[in-house]
C-alpha cells in the first residue's frame, strides 16, 4: 500500500493473517516514509486472533509492505470466542450493524427464506440465492453502500455479497459475521471477503461469489461487517491511498470447492 500523506496522520493497517487456524511461519511488515524505513509504532491484538498495526506517519510518501508464509492447520481449532462467551458472541452477531441493517429487512427475508426448515438450510439457500441473483460488477458500489443497496440494485463486489449474506441471516435470527481474507485463486487478485453463519454448533463459511475455494482462504480480520475489518483506517491528518496490490498463492494445487458442503474457515 502506498499513501500520499498530506498532513501527519495515523494509519491502522489490518493485513496480517490472524493467529487462528493457521501458523504464520515468517512475516515481514515494512514501513517506509519517502523511502526511509520507519518503525511501526504498535501491534494491537484484535478479536478472533486479528492483529492491527498502528502506524504514525509524518507527511510524505508512505509505503507499507507486508509479506508472510502461512501453514494452514489441518484440523483448525475453533476461534477463541469474542469476549470469552460464545453465547454472548452469538447474541451480538445477530444484531444489526452498519452495513447489515437486519432489523429493516424482516419482510423480504421471511418471504424468501422463512419457509425453509433449519438455520443451516436457510444459510445455504441465502448463499445460493445471492449467487444466482446478484451480479459481480466492479465499481458498482462504494464504501457507504449497505447490503440493502446490493439487494435492490442487484449488483456489488465481494464485500457486498458478504454483507448481503449477513443481512439476510441475521434477519432470520441466525448469527453471522464478516471475514476479510486472503484468497488464493481469486482473479483478479485482491483482498477478499466472505461471511460465516452459526448453525449446527459451528461457524460455517459461505462465499456467495464462488470466486475462490474456501479451503485455502486465510483469515485476516473478523467482525460485524466491513466497518470492523478495513485493511487501512486513516485517523486524523490527511492521507490518500494511491496504490495497493495484493498477492496470495498456494504451494501446489488449489483445492476444489463444490460450494455445497460445509466448510469451516481456519
Beta carbons within 10 angstroms of residue 2's beta carbon: 15
Answer whether the bond into residue 53 is a cis peptide, omega within 30°: no
Binder to its own copies among 13, 70, 122, 148 (CB under 8 A)? 148
Dihedral sign of CA atoms 241, 141, 246, 16 in order: positive
> What span, in angstroms and rounded, lies between the C-alpha atoms of 167 and 148?
8
Q: How far is the CB of 130 from its own copies (least distance, A)?
A: 11
235 scored as a contact of its own copies (CB under 8 A): yes
**Pair 237, 3: CB distance under 8 Å:** no
Q: How far is the CB of 150 from its own copies (least distance, A)?
A: 8
52 scored as a contact of its own copies (CB under 8 A): yes
Nearer to its own copies, 34 or 200 (CB): 200
85 scored as a contact of its own copies (CB under 8 A): yes
Grid cell locating 4: 500520499
Q: How far is the CB of 262 from its own copies (least distance, A)?
A: 22
Binder to its own copies among 97, 122, 216, 222 (CB under 8 A)? 97
> What span, in angstroms and rounded, lies between the C-alpha atoms of 19 and 125?
31
Interactions with its own copies, residue window 1-30 (CB under 8 A): 12
Burial class (CB in 10 A: 0-12, 13-18, 19+), 175: buried
Size of the site for its own copies (CB under 8 A): 49
> What span, in angstroms and rounded, lies between the C-alpha atoms of 168 and 152?
13
Q: Which residues lie near its own copies (CB under 8 A)?
A: 12, 42, 44-47, 52, 54, 82-83, 85, 87-88, 91-92, 94-98, 101, 103-108, 110-111, 133-135, 142-144, 148-155, 173, 227-228, 233, 235-236
Amino acid at each position: 500500500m502506498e499513501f500520499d500523506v498530506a498532513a501527519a496522520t495515523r494509519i491502522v493497517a489490518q493485513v496480517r493473517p490472524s493467529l487462528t487456524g493457521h501458523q504464520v511461519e515468517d512475516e515481514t511488515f515494512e514501513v517506509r516514509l519517502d523511502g526511509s524505513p520507519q518503525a511501526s509504532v504498535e501491534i494491537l491484538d484484535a478479536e478472533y486472533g486479528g492483529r492491527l498495526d498502528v502506524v504514525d506517519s509524518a507527511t510524505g510518501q508512505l509505503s507499507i509492505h507486508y509479506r508472510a508464509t502461512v501453514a494452514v492447520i489441518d484440523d483448525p481449532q475453533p476461534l477463541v470466542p469474542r469476549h470469552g462467551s460464545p453465547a454472548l458472541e452469538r447474541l451480538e452477531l445477530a444484531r444489526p450493524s452498519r452495513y447489515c441493517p437486519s432489523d429493516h429487512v424482516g419482510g423480504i427475508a421471511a418471504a424468501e427464506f422463512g419457509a425453509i426448515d433449519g438455520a443451516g438450510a436457510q444459510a445455504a439457500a441465502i448463499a445460493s440465492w445471492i449467487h444466482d441473483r446478484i451480479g459481480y460488477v466492479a465499481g458498482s458500489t462504494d464504501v457507504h453502500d449497505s447490503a440493502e443497496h446490493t439487494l435492490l440494485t442487484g449488483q456489488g463486489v465481494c464485500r457486498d455479497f458478504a454483507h448481503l449474506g449477513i443481512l439476510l441471516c441475521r434477519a432470520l435470527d441466525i448469527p453471522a459475521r464478516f471475514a476479510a481474507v486472503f484468497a488464493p485463486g481469486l482473479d483478479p487478485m485482491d483482498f477478499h471477503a466472505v461471511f460465516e453463519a452459526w448453525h449446527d454448533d459451528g461457524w460455517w463459511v459461505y462465499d456467495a461469489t464462488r470466486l475462490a475455494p474456501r479451503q485455502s482462504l486465510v483469515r485476516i480480520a473478523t467482525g460485524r461487517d466491513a466497518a470492523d475489518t478495513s485493511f487501512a483506517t486513516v485517523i486524523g491528518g490527511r492521507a490518500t491511498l494511491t496504490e495497493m496490490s495484493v498477492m496470495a498463492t498456494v504451494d501446489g494445487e488449489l483445492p476444489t470447492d463444490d460450494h455445497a458442503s460445509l466448510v469451516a474457515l481456519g
